[in-house]
Chain A
Amino acid sequence: MKDISENNRPPVFKSWLTWYILLVGTLAALILLFYLFMKTFN
């Protein structure tokens, strides 16, 4: 994650770590949403 050269520079954010945190956060949010969805309609 440290070697940011031209070939592996992440788009939008400064580091790849931000992308990875965003992806894990999205997964957690989806699981929570699915759980709430199930609880609401069951």
Chain B
Amino acid sequence: MRTLDWIFLVASLVFIVLYGVLKGRGSRDIRGFLLADRSMKWYTVALSIMATQASAITFLSGPGQAYVDGMRFVQFYFGLPIAMIILSVTAVPIYHKLNVYTAYEYLENRFDINIRLLASFLFLIQRGLAAGLTIYAPSIILSVILGWNIYWTNLIVGLLVITYTASGGTRAVGETHFYQMLIIMCGMIGAFIVAIQLLPDDISLLDATYITGKLGRLNTIDLRFDLDNRYNIWSGIIGGLFLQLSYFGTDQSQVQRYLSGSSVTQSRMGLIFNGFVKIPMQFFILFIGVVVFAFYQFQLPPLFFNPVASGAVKESSMADAYQVLENKQHEIHTQKQQAIRAYLEARDTGDPQLITEKGSELITTHQKYVDVRNNAKAMIKANNPDADTSDTNYIFLTFVVQFLPVGLVGLVIAAIIAASMSSTAGELNALASTTVVDFYKRVFAKRPDDRKEVLFSKLSTVAWGIYAIVLAEYASRLGSLIEAVNILGSLFYGTILGIFLAAFYIKRVQGRAVFFAAIFAEIAVIAVFIFTDISFLWYNVVGCVGILLLAPVFELVTKKYSKSGA
């Protein structure tokens, strides 16, 4: 990074923190601090929802995923617009009517305090762990590619977020989300334009799209129904619907965003706008990865994009063998460029037989390249059995640092840190709300005291922020923690959603029946996790549907039991 990059980076981050602190001043009660006095317009709500969901990993990993695996990940979001409609019809009017601060408050209103405390406790566990990883995940990538000290990166990002989130609460979080999204989109659009310009002069964007399509990177739709296949249209629409319903309807980090809307209309429009924009945005992020993939067909890429992992092999006894693989990669890369040009020339002739023939040759040459890369990964694993052989997260940032012009590198790094800050701010804000409203105010506080409650909310934000930083600092020592937390989240989301859907739609069931149904549904989810290979998106369906089927049965049983008991 050069001076101009640092200027862009530091100016963007300082602006966000100062703007957040200034905008968030003057909250005298927790309605102001935790709900921004319910004064937000729909566009602030919408951008806040999007900024909370889109973490730094979305922008770092998304293009890399398209590079390695194609664009099929876009199907993951197909359930989101339907979820936005269902929540607009059900959750938004109910939460507004009951004037709740947290989603879990509603559960006490509908069932009893035990269900409220159970759901809010599960949220604190899950989201508390996730907040640490939201800081850690981009820091590890920035430290590997840019050589930054990971401990200082975690600490600085964490402290910046704590500063404006603790001082300004929900208003500061929502208002800064707007500018964070602006910085993110400027950085990503800039990277996209430069990536297109970096293609060779005789290769147009259309040519690049044909090449990447031929090499299987435009696999946007998979119509096959396969429970073990993580991303197809069915897992996206059905499994994705349940996951998005759970995330947006029951996770306080999202519920708090639309609860700050000034009316039902403003909250609904925020969700609906997200439904319109999310899939095209995700398509765009993945398509950046496709263009980067096209660029690397003409520019020799690293054999493995994580320099720390490949560097370890180069310093080991396997260095010579790795060098042989790099030479082979170089040779195949030259052959591939010839195959690409032959394929494009065949396309220009319009001869279907020639196009098929040259297309097959291109695919065969690419497969040789993939085989060399797989051999390199096997060598990395053999050298260090604990090494991660996925380099997806490092691809986009490697391209940014090596090929983007000065200034734009700083803007893209600022976009990545802004994305990390925006997600973390939403999470800390929600963790503080649940701690204060569902535990401190409900269980411990003797009588209402505005000054004390605001002070406790601020202290709670700081405490969760410190916890997240400490977790981020230790994350690297805890091995596959990220994977564990992802699995943990999907294990509980469906059950929590089932509790909420039972509350919304099954009028006759009461707290006790839902409580037992939740326990049995959770056992079913854990059994599916342990004994089957079913993709994690389906866990949400199992947990949720399990409760909706079991709760009415338990209600009948408990009624019969209490009648016979009487």
A38 pairs with B219, CB closer than 8 A: yes
Who on chain A is nearest to B86 by CB?
A20
Produce 1/0 per residue, B290-333, CB < 8 A to A.
Answer: 00000000000000000000000000000000000000000000
Q: Is the CB of B283 within 8 A of A20?
A: no
By a CB distance below 8 angstroms, the chain A residues around B84 are 23
B272 touches A23 (CB 8 A): yes
Q: Which A residues are CB-close (under 8 A) to B156?
A: none
The interface residues of chain A, by DSSP majority, are classed as helix
Set of chain B residues within 8 Å of A31, measured between Cβ atoms: 78, 221, 233
CB of B218 within 8 A of chain A? yes
Per the CB 8 Å criterion, the residue count for chain B at the interface is: 32
The chain B residue sitting closest to A41, CB to CB, is B213
Task: Answer whether A16 and B276 are a contact pair too, CB < 8 Å, given A7-B263, A35-B221.
Answer: no
B268, A41: Cβ atoms under 8 Å?
Answer: no
Shortest beta-carbon distance, A1 to chain B, in Å? 7
Partner of A23, one of B85, B209, B216, B220: B85
Complex CA–CA separation, A30 to B93 (angstroms):
29
User: Complex Cα distance A35/B275, Å?
Assistant: 19
Given known pairs A37-B218, A38-B218, A42-B218, the reply for A30 and B280 (CB within 8 Å) is: yes
Hey, what's the 0/1 contact readout for B396-438 against A, CB within 8 Å counting as 1?
A: 0000000000000000000000000000000000000000000
Contact A37 B264, CB 8 Å, known A19-B272, A20-B85: no
Number of interface residues of A (CB under 8 A): 22
Question: How long is the Cα–Cα vector from A27 to B277 in the complex, in angstroms?
Answer: 10
Partner of B82, one of A16, A19, A27: A27
Q: In the complex, which residues of chain A have a beta carbon less than 8 angstroms from the beta carbon of B81? A: 23-24, 26-27
B 250-293 to A, binary, CB cutoff 8 A, 1 in contact else 0: 00000000000001110011001001100110010000000000
Query: B268's contact among A8, A34, A37, A42, by CB below 8 Å, is which?
Result: A8
A30 x B279 contact (CB < 8 A) = yes
Rounded to whole Å, the gap between the CB of B234 and the closest CB of chain A is 12
Which of B82, B216, B269 is A24 in contact with, Cβ under 8 Å?
B82
A-B contacts, CB under 8 A, total: 71
Q: Is the CB of B212 within 8 A of A38?
A: no
Nearest CB to that of B85 among chain A residues? A20
List, in ascending order, chain A residues with CB within 8 A of B468's CB: none
Cα–Cα, bound, A37→B497 (Å): 35
How many Å lie between the Cα of A35 and that of B96 in the bound state? 39
B84: nearest residue on chain A (CB-CB)?
A23
| A42 adjacent to B214 (CB under 8 Å) | yes
Question: What chain B residues lie within 8 Å of A16 (beta carbons)?
Answer: 88-89, 268
B276 touches A34 (CB 8 A): no
Bound CA span A22–B186, Å: 28
Contact string against A for B residues 81-114, beta-carbon threshold 8 Å, 1 for contact and 0 otherwise = 1101100110001001000000000000000000
Q: Are B220 and A38 in contact (CB under 8 A)?
A: yes
Q: Which residues of B contact A7 (CB under 8 A)?
A: 96, 263-265
Nearest 9 A-B pairs (CB), nearest first? A41-B213, A8-B264, A34-B220, A27-B81, A35-B221, A20-B85, A42-B213, A7-B263, A38-B220
Interface residues of B, Cβ cutoff 8 Å to A: 74, 78, 81-82, 84-85, 88-89, 93, 96, 209-210, 212-214, 216, 218-221, 233, 263-265, 268-269, 272, 275-276, 279-280, 283
A sample of 12 cross-chain residue pairs with beta-carbon separation below 8 angstroms, ordered by A number, consists of A11-B265, A16-B89, A20-B89, A20-B272, A23-B272, A30-B280, A31-B221, A34-B74, A41-B209, A41-B214, A42-B213, A42-B214
Known A23-B84, A30-B280, A40-B213; 5 more pairs at CB < 8 Å: A27-B78, A27-B279, A31-B221, A34-B283, A42-B219
